[in-house]
């Protein structure tokens, strides 16, 4: 079955991103296709490579990146939500005149249409948030 | 399954205290271009989103309430408001913004977009949807 | 000794106002801000909780947050006082400490 | 047509579980996750709400979230079924769509 | 005002669902070095923070519950738990971790850190504090 | 009177940072001293210069920076909370081997002791959060 996942909260502050990670892993193990993981609201904060979590805790951004590489996941960060919260890739850096970028490996910034498309194309949309 | 899906955007949170109301509305506006069958549900504190007379000048933040009035122009004309949620908050239809759309199937007559429904009717609307968007 | 309590959550969504009323000592002040301002409206399922607590506590509501949400002052429970941010600062000073019911 | 409802908030802190029970149609499944798992415990002020809803809805609770919070399965309301993340995925597939009561 | 202030850390949120419980505890640990008069209050879902048997292995996240047991070593020995909050959640003292400290004023006798108090006693403890930390 | 302010939530997602800004302005206008503004939990996300908010909305990070410059405010971002969430200054960039930093003007990263000190030194601590 084709599943899409929406993540509405940032890492650590809420359990939502950990729940989404564990759910995604279980869905992949069960042989389902993950059409897309869409990061919205504070969820965009999952996609920064600037985090340095404590050594004795999960590294959430890295876990997403590794999962994306291993399974070819499409991790999409909403551009409007990202602009409000300071998540930047090279394209956004150019467009908005920033002096750097912080997007993590495996994530891409795109529009809300990607969420709508996920709703249309997927058999199920599962939302994790606050 | 037909090409057109029934999308239901579920609004349960008050405006301004958190951003969910506004960022949910941004999804609805973008989604309108995809020509799906769109409905919005307002339950719990979500009913506050439609209250008239919102003025954010004193806070210095964006007032997005006018955007609800533009929904009709985007062919988003089904806004379901739960009666029980209104009543618990001491609100009536008169407290909400008048929202209308022009019905293309009825010689573009101006009609009300807001439909007050009971909890049970709302539960049925959820059942009949294909995709539920939660924020 | 008196406490300024701030409540920033809707009483229909969270338990903050209820907990504040339960755990605020007599003589305290309660200021409703942000989504907490909905707790100041009359004719709701939460109004009685506020009215009953008025014998021990003084209730205030932040005007700019009321206006943002389109709540007319005529809809407030009798006795709830509207203050602006200057009034918020004054309440902070007049009480000995602040308890935020987050 | 049936809905998998997820509830991730404590019923003592938020209204999510209450709203889910009010607005879930007969035949639906409710999965309690994250802080929502406290709603599955017996002997609380929220237990009756779940027990009464059981005639129309089937209740599940996510085991890893229960364990994290130290909630022994012996403390669960009779009839609430414990599932792991694989079971969560199965529930997603077995129902037609998912409603997250955030 | 004396040099030592009465600090009250107020815990109202469940562990793991959000980070407030853990990051609040980090403040308490750092704050212990400042030699103030420290108390912790556990009300509402905050009482869940002290439940025994927490095991986060299945989630893959840090289990910080052992840190509460270390508080005694930091001279943090006054943990007030509201009776009404426990009761509403069907909990008793037996469901909580046994937390102790060694009383320097009583020949280092081992004593219980957790004190169950009524809502009214908790309200008085708040009144008697100088600074309330809310998370 | 000497006041300190704690901000527990990030910009835009919650009203907390706007409330804290409006409160801080009012306190300064009333002639009070702001000993410190401490950003904790997701509040650390107020201190990134990577945001590009919509033109028709408040620019929260810039407003803090301008207020800090005008009134000499001490804006402190908690280091432990910042590491979890990806807020980095030059020192943290070096220490944690990051390829850039994103701290906004007027903010500094420091330890939790700064919050305790604020509690000791200030006449009032006012907390804004979720």
Strands B109-112 and B100-103: antiparallel
Number of domains in chain B: 1
The answer, for B51 touching chain C at a CB cutoff of 8 Å, is yes
What ipTM did this prediction achieve? Answer: 0.97
pLDDT tens per residue, range C36-81? 999 999 999 999 999 999 999 999 999 999 999 999 999 999 999 9
pLDDT tens per residue, range F48-107? 999 999 999 999 999 999 999 999 999 999 999 999 999 999 999 999 999 999 999 999
Domains of chain A: 2-128 (3.40.1260.10)
Instruction: Report the mean per-residue pLDDT for chain A.
Output: 98
Percentages (nearest 5) of helix, strand, coil residues in chain C: 40, 25, 35
F125 to C86: CB separation less than 8 angstroms, yes or no: no
Neighbours of chain A (3+ CB pairs under 8 A): B, D, E, F
Per DSSP, chain E holds a count of helices (H) and strands (E) of 4, 7
pLDDT tens per residue, range E78-96? 999 999 999 999 999 999 9
Report domain D3-101's class. alpha beta
Q: How many alpha carbons fall within 13 Å on the CB side of residue F51? A: 28
Instruction: Report the mean per-residue pLDDT for chain C.
Output: 98
Is the predicted pLDDT of residue C25 greater than 80, yes or no?
yes
Which one has a higher pLDDT value, F75 or B3? F75
Query: What is the count of residue pairs from B and C with beta carbons less than 8 Å apart?
Result: 71
The answer, for F11 touching chain A at a CB cutoff of 8 Å, is yes
Query: What is the count of residue pairs from A and E with beta carbons less than 8 Å apart?
Result: 25
Residue C74 carries which DSSP code?
G
Average pLDDT over residues E94-103: 97
Is the predicted pLDDT of residue B128 greater than 80, yes or no?
yes
Percentages (nearest 5) of helix, strand, coil residues in chain E: 40, 25, 35
Cβ(D44)–Cβ(E44) below 8 Å: no
In a domain, B122, yes or no: yes
In a domain, B113, yes or no: yes
What range does the domain containing B23 cover?
A: 6-134
The answer, for B48 touching chain C at a CB cutoff of 8 Å, is yes
Is the predicted pLDDT of residue A102 greater than 80, yes or no?
yes
pLDDT tens per residue, range E25-76? 999 999 999 999 999 999 999 999 999 999 999 999 999 999 999 999 999 9
Given pLDDT bands bounded at 50, 70 and 90, which one contains residue B3?
confident
Task: CATH number of the domain at E23, please.
Answer: 3.40.1260.10
Instruction: Report the mean per-residue pLDDT for chain D.
Output: 98
Which 2-61 residues of chain F touch chain C by CB within 8 A?
A: 3, 8, 15-16, 19, 22-23, 25-27, 29-30, 32
The answer, for B66 touching chain F at a CB cutoff of 8 Å, is no
Nearest CB partner across the interface for F96, out of A12, A52, A83: A52
Nearest CB partner across the interface for B18, out of F14, F21, F58: F14
Nearest CB partner across the interface for A119, out of B7, B20, B33: B7
C25 to E119: CB separation less than 8 angstroms, yes or no: no
Instruction: Report the mean per-residue pLDDT for chain B.
Output: 96
Structural domain spans, chain D: 3-101
The answer, for C35 touching chain F at a CB cutoff of 8 Å, is yes
The answer, for A55 touching chain F at a CB cutoff of 8 Å, is no
Contacts of A51 (CB under 8 A, 6+ apart): A11, A59, A60, A61, F83, F84, F85, F86
Which among D23, D36, D16 is positioned nearest to D80, based on CA atoms? D36
In three state form, how does the secondary structure of chain A look?
Answer: CEEEEEECCCCCCECHHHHHHHHHHHHHHCCCEEEEEEECHHHHHHHECCCCCCCCCCCHHHHHHHHHHHHCCCEEEEHHHHHHHCCCCHHHHHHCCCCCCCECCCEEEECCHHHHHHHHHCCEEEEECC
E60 to A18: CB separation less than 8 angstroms, yes or no: yes
Cβ(E90)–Cβ(E6) below 8 Å: no
Query: How many other CB atoms are found less than 10 A from the CB of residue F69?
Result: 11
Q: Please give the pLDDT value at position B1.
A: 47
For chain A, the residue count is 130
Identify from E54, E89, E95, E96 which residue to disrupt to test chain D contact, counting D C-beta atoms within 10 A and taking the largest count: E89
User: Which residues of B fall within a CB distance of 8 Å from C77?
Assistant: none
Nearest CB partner across the interface for A57, out of E17, E18, E62: E62
pLDDT tens per residue, range D21-66? 999 999 999 999 999 999 999 999 999 999 999 999 999 999 999 9
Q: Please give the pLDDT value at position E3.
A: 77
State whether residue E116 is helix, strand or coil: strand
pLDDT tens per residue, range A1-44? 999 999 999 999 999 999 999 999 999 999 999 999 999 999 99
User: Which residues of B fall within a CB distance of 8 Å from F64?
Assistant: none
Q: Please give the pLDDT value at position B2.
A: 55
Q: Please give the pLDDT value at position E1.
A: 47
Cβ(C88)–Cβ(F124) below 8 Å: no
pLDDT tens per residue, range B48-65? 999 999 999 999 999 999
E36 to F116: CB separation less than 8 angstroms, yes or no: yes
In a domain, E54, yes or no: yes
Give me the active site residues of F, please. Answer: 78
* DSSP element (H, E) containing B73: none
User: Which residues of E fall within a CB distance of 8 Å from D63?
Assistant: 58
Percent of chain F at pLDDT > 90 equals 100
In angstroms, what separates the C-alpha of E6 from chain A's closest C-alpha?
28
The answer, for E79 touching chain C at a CB cutoff of 8 Å, is no
Query: How many other CB atoms are found less than 10 A from the CB of residue D48?
Result: 11
In a domain, E1, yes or no: no
Identify from F78, F86, F90 which residue to disrupt to test chain A contact, counting A C-beta atoms within 10 A and taking the largest count: F86
Q: CA triplet D90, D95, D99: central angle to 5 degrees?
A: 105
Q: Please give the pLDDT value at position E2.
A: 55
Do B and E make contact via 3 or more CB pairs under 8 A? The reply is no
């Amino acid at each position: 079955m084709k599943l899409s996942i929406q993540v509405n909260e940032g890492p650590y502050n809420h359990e939502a991103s950990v729940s989404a990670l564990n759910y995604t892993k279980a869905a992949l193990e069960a042989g389902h296709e993950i059409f897309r993981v869409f990061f919205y609201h504070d969820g965009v904060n999952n996609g920064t490579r600037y985090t340095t979590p404590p050594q004795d805790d999960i590294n959430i951004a890295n876990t997403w990146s590794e999962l994306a590489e291993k399974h070819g996941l499409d991790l999409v960060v909403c551009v409007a939500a990202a602009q409000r919260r300071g998540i930047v890739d090279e394209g956004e850096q150019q467009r908005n005149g920033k002096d750097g970028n912080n997007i993590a490996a495996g994530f891409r910034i795109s529009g809300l249409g990607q969420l709508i498309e996920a709703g249309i194309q997927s058999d199920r949309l599962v939302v994790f948030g606050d | 399954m037909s090409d057109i899906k029934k999308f239901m955007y579920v609004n349960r949170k008050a405006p301004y205290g958190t951003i969910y109301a506004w960022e949910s509305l941004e999804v609805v506006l973008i989604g309108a271009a995809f020509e799906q069958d769109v409905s919005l549900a307002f339950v719990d504190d979500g009913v506050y989103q439609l209250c008239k007379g919102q003025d954010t000048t004193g806070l210095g933040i964006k007032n997005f309430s006018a955007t609800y009035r533009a929904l009709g122009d985007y062919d988003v004309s089904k806004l379901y408001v739960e009666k029980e949620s209104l009543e618990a908050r001491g609100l009536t239809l008169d407290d909400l913004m008048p929202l209308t759309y022009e019905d293309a199937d009825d010689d573009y007559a101006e009609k009300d977009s807001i439909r007050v429904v009971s909890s049970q009717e709302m539960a049925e609307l959820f059942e009949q949807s294909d995709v539920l968007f939660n924020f | 000794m008196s406490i300024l309590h701030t409540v920033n959550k809707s009483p229909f969504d969270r338990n903050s106002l209820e907990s504040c009323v339960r755990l605020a000592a007599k003589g305290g002040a309660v200021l409703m801000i942000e989504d907490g301002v909905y707790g100041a409206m009359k004719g709701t399922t939460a109004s009685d909780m506020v009215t009953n607590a008025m014998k021990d506590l003084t209730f205030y509501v932040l005007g700019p947050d009321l206006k943002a949400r389109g709540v007319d002052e005529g809809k407030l429970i009798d006795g709830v006082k509207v203050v602006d941010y200057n009034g918020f600062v004054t309440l902070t000073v007049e009480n000995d400490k602040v308890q935020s019911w987050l």
